[in-house]
């Protein structure tokens, strides 16, 4: 079965750039997306089709993709960005989520 | 404004059944695939099931295939998840989510979730 691999945790200082990776076979062909989930809240879509932002998502969130790895980048990270982030892709009519990355802003 | 309101969660004994509902509003319901995703306590997101807008096609994770059934009533703008033969491993918050309606199928709206606890 298809798998998406994310680092369990990433730390960043306020104002710096955070990068969270997601790896999977031929992931670039699958138009991955990214969700943010804060404690006790439902997930929120932050990036789709590699690098598009839904309405209301700040410009500091961006996405990129290269071959087997997608990257979520948060520029000028703020304390409010501390959350769990999940990548997501479709494969053969099934949905796959990455294991999630806890972003700590310290 | 898109709203998704799940209900039907609760405490159920192992081997029991439960039916979850997700009432949708704020969009043309029949035009969109709908999804169920679950999250065990302290764990990550796991996809459970997808149903297409017409209800003609249904997809399931291997872990629930044969035990769970997804359905929808487009006249009532509600999607359901019938869960049978429940085990402790099914304990989770269950979210319904709306498909964006584009090729890569991101989930652009999520409900608040309903907690299912399987325990004796």
Instruction: Output the pLDDT for position A93.
Output: 86
* B81 pLDDT tier (thresholds 50, 70, 90): very high
Closest chain B CA to residue A53: B108
Chain segment A30-77, per-residue pLDDT in tens: 889 999 999 999 999 999 987 999 999 999 999 999 889 999 999 999
| In the predicted structure, residue B119 carries a pLDDT above the cut 90 | yes
**Interface residue A85 vs chain B (CB under 8 A):** no
Main-chain phi, psi angles of B102, to 5 degrees: -125, 170
Chain B positions in Cβ-Cβ contact with residue A1 (cut-off 8 Å): 62
- Closest approach of chain A CAs to the CA of B2, in angstroms? 13
Instruction: Output the pLDDT for position A8.
Output: 98
Chain segment B98-115, per-residue pLDDT in tens: 999 888 889 999 999 999
């Amino acid at each position: 079965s298809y798998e998406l691999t994310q680092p369990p945790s990433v730390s960043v200082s306020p104002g710096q750039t955070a990068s969270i990776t997601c790896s999977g076979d031929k992931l670039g062909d699958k138009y991955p997306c990214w969700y943010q989930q804060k404690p006790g809240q439902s997930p929120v879509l932050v990036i789709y089709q590699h690098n598009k932002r839904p309405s209301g998502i700040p410009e500091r969130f961006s996405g990129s993709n290269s071959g087997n790895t997608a990257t979520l980048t948060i520029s000028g990270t703020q304390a409010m960005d501390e959350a769990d982030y999940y990548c997501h892709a479709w494969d053969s009519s099934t949905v796959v989520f990455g294991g999630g990355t806890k972003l700590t802003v310290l | 404004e898109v709203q998704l309101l799940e209900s039907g969660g609760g405490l159920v004994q192992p081997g029991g059944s439960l039916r979850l509902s997700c009432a949708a509003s704020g969009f043309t319901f029949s035009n969109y695939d709908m999804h169920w995703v679950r999250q065990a306590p302290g764990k990550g997101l796991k996809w459970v099931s997808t149903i297409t807008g017409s209800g003609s096609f249904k997809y399931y994770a291997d872990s629930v295939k044969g035990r769970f059934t997804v359905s929808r009533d487009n006249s009532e703008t509600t999607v359901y998840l019938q869960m049978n033969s429940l085990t402790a491993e099914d304990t989770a918050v269950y979210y319904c989510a709306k498909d964006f309606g584009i090729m890569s199928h991101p989930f652009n709206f999520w409900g608040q979730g309903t907690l299912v606890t399987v325990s004796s």
